[in-house]
């Protein structure tokens, strides 16, 4: 189905790229799904844009990540060739953007923003929604993890990241993007880090002390998928920092690190987790769209859609079975 048919129910002229987001006939939603069809009540999934950026320490621009992902998603097809279905058939509602508090505000900063994320995600989760959060910087992840940990006491967190993000504080922030993984351990039962290729000695010691499962990316692709899945409990939250990918095809990130993961290398792991565990929520963060080609935003959008597919595959099969 073309984008015009998806949004309006019939053929529609394809707008020029610069017109996207302003064309009156095309909704500003993920996959440009019709908001009258994909209401919150009728949707299993929720896209939550969180364009927060305050603690980034290298290249800037992650605040524009959610908008870029949603814009690029307009070019994707609904049908997933790998899964053999349309994951959006369960409903994907694009929620209003969750903005940072207006400054100045008492107790502001990334810790306060994590609290806002926690409240928003908890509200959607209480309605039975699977939330896919779009960042923004990685500091927002701890809020989503906290919300899910309240509902799932044995929650495991699966982190994809080039950096370990296990610092207790960085540049004066205890909730810095460089502390994202450390802060999830304030709430989650276990943490598994995949794709890491940069960390401090202190982070390595902390990981060993706290039993963090590390699967660094070396010269060869990460192949032991079973070992990764075995570190996870039944309910899993997935946090995907896009710098886990190799910068040769994902250059639009704040902290590019050479020697990263490939597309199918990452998807093999995610699909196995979706098949053998329950993905209760996820985020895709750290896209800095101005630092790379448009293909990076498209790849990020595709990853978001794949995660919805892996997390809801059984629900999709059930919905399509009823439609048959």
Domain boundaries defined on the chain = 39-99+110-323
Confidence of residue 71 (pLDDT cuts 50, 70, 90): very high
**Statement: residue 106 has pLDDT above 80:** no
Which CATH number is 39-99+110-323 given?
Answer: 3.40.800.10
pLDDT tens, 268-316? 999 999 999 999 999 999 999 999 999 999 999 999 999 999 999 854 4
pTM for this predicted structure? 0.89
- DSSP letter string, 69-122: HHHHHTTS-S-BTTTTB-GGGG-EEEPPP-PPPPSS-TT-SHHHHHHHHHHHHH
**Statement: residue 1 has pLDDT above 60:** no
Mean of per-residue pLDDT scores for the chain:
87
**Statement: residue 66 has pLDDT above 70:** yes
- Taking each helix axis from N to C end, the angle separating 294-323 and 263-276, rounded to the nearest 10 degrees, works out to 30
């Amino acid at each position: 189905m073309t984008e015009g048919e998806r949004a309006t129910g019939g053929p529609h002229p394809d707008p020029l790229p610069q017109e996207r987001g302003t064309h009156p006939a095309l909704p500003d939603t993920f996959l440009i799904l019709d908001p009258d069809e994909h209401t919150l009540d009728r949707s299993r999934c929720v896209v939550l844009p969180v364009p927060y950026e305050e603690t980034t320490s290298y290249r800037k621009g992650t605040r524009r990540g959610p908008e870029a992902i949603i814009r690029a998603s307009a070019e994707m097809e609904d049908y997933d060739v790998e899964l053999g279905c349309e994951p959006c058939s369960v409903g994907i509602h694009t929620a209003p953007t969750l903005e940072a508090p207006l400054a100045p505000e008492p107790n502001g900063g990334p810790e306060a923003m994590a609290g806002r994320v926690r409240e928003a995600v908890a509200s959607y989760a209480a309605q039975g929604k699977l939330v896919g959060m779009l960042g923004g910087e990685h500091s927002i992840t701890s809020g989503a993890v906290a919300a899910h940990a309240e509902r799932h006491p044995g929650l495991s967190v699966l982190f994809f990241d080039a950096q370990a993000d296990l610092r207790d504080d960085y540049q004066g922030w205890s909730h810095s993007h460089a502390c994202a993984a450390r802060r999830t351990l304030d709430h989650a039962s276990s943490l598994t880090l995949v794709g890491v290729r940069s960390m401090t000695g202190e982070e390595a010691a902390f990981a060993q002390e706290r039993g963090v499962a590390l699967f660094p990316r070396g010269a060869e692709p990460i192949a032991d998928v079973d070992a990764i899945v075995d570190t996870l409990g039944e309910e899993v939250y997935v946090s995907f920092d896009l710098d886990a990918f190799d910068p040769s095809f994902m250059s639009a990130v704040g902290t590019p690190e050479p020697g990263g993961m490939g597309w199918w290398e990452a998807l093999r792991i995610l699909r196995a987790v979706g098949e053998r565990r329950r993905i209760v929520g996820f985020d895709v963060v750290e896209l800095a769209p101005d630092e790379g080609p448009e293909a990076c935003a498209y790849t990020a959008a595709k990853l978001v859609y794949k995660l919805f597919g892996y997390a809801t595959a059984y629900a999709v099969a059930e919905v399509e079975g009823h439609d048959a």
